[in-house]
Amino acid sequence: MSNLESILSLKQHVQNHIIGQETLVDRLLIALLADGHLLVEGAPGLAKTKAIKILSDGIESNFHRIQFTPDLLPADLTGTEVYRPQDGSFIFQQGPLFHNLVLADEINRAPAKVQSALLEAMAERQITVGKVTYPLPELFMVMATQNPIEQEGTYPLPEAQLDRFLMHVSIDYPQASAEKQILKLAREEAREETKQQSAEAEPTASPQKISQQSIFDARNEILDIHMADNLEEYLLQLVLATRDPSGFGDDLANWSLYGASPRATIALDRCARAHAWLDQRDFVSPDDIQAIAFDVLRHRVILSYEAEADGITPDSFIHELIARVPVP
């Protein structure tokens, strides 16, 4: 089985359990293939937590969920040194960040010092405790969630932390037809759970897991995907337009306070390639860049006070730029 077939079977495995959230499943796989981290925002009960749990079940990896709370400490993430009275030494007890896939649930409920501990792990792929630095696994992805409601008592993520996330995905309620399928799936899962608890339960066949090496090989294939020079220029113009949009209309001149950084350019390039690869193509098209632009740029653009007063959102700003930047 080729790397593409393995990843597509993994995608199908996740979609069988997560109904009505095709965008979330797609972006999860793109983040995994582009070697980045994912921030997901949506109302409670939209299968955000379940999605990454199902994904981890299909990969030869370990998974850990961390519930962020205001009383969480950095050592609760990174681990701590434990004193051994037998020989008077300290041994390092690894924390939950030493897993391949980490779910940071409700990340904005933890104070800044905890968020900064996560920042080093995400950016440097290492953790420093005292004078010693410990490397994290080669396959390492953080999926953080936050709810758009109940903002009282939360600690908004600073721009530097937001910029570390490859994509910021905003998800909504599923369609009525999808919700009907969700009901059916929930009943089937409840029946399976009841069977498992009974004495005569037959062991269920676990899905075939994809090796980590297959994911690393797929990443190399994605980097080799062809992107034409004029398309690369289009990608650059799109990111540069977030910093100075005045060249695409006087009405946009005062909308942007801070635009996307060069990290956004790299992220847009990697994600567009991964999007094309998942679509079973060996070249990148303008549609790939436009499809992924909202998720890559929405958390990296800071709008001016005038734009916010006029009801402009980052999504509407990016939509205007896509409509006005000429496509090659």
Beta carbons of 50 and 182 less than 8 angstroms apart: no
> Where does the chain hold its CATH 3.40.50.300 domain(s)?
3-175
Helix, strand, coil shares of the chain as percentages rounded to 5? 50, 15, 35
The pLDDT value given to residue 178: 87
- Residue 115 backbone dihedrals phi, psi, to 5 degrees: -60, -35
Q: Between 3.40.50.150, 3.90.660.10, 1.10.3720.10, 3.40.50.300, what CATH number should domain 3-175 receive?
A: 3.40.50.300
Predicted structure pTM score: 0.89
> Where does the chain hold its CATH 1.10.8.80 domain(s)?
225-324
Ranges assigned E (strand) in 163-310: 167-170, 256-258, 302-303
DSSP secondary structure, 98-149, as one string: SSSEEEEETGGGS-HHHHHHHHHHHHHSEEEETTEEEEPPSS-EEEEEE-SS
The pLDDT value given to residue 97: 92
The pLDDT value given to residue 196: 72
Say which DSSP state 294 is in. Answer: H
Tokens of 57: 């079940």
Spatial CB neighbours of 100, under 8 Å, sequence gap ≥ 6: 56, 59, 61, 62, 63, 137, 139, 140, 141, 212
Number of Cβ within a 10 Å radius of residue 152: 5
pLDDT per residue, tens digit, the chain (328 aa), is 688 888 888 889 888 888 888 899 999 999 999 999 999 988 888 888 888 889 988 898 899 999 998 889 988 999 888 888 888 888 888 989 999 999 999 888 888 888 888 888 888 898 888 788 899 999 999 999 988 776 666 788 888 788 889 999 998 888 888 888 888 888 888 888 787 777 555 555 556 788 899 999 999 999 999 999 999 999 999 999 999 888 888 888 888 888 899 999 999 999 999 999 999 998 999 999 999 999 999 999 999 898 889 888 999 999 999 999 898 8
Give the closest residue to 7 by CA, choosing from 40, 38, 35, 32.
32
Domain 225-324 class? mainly alpha
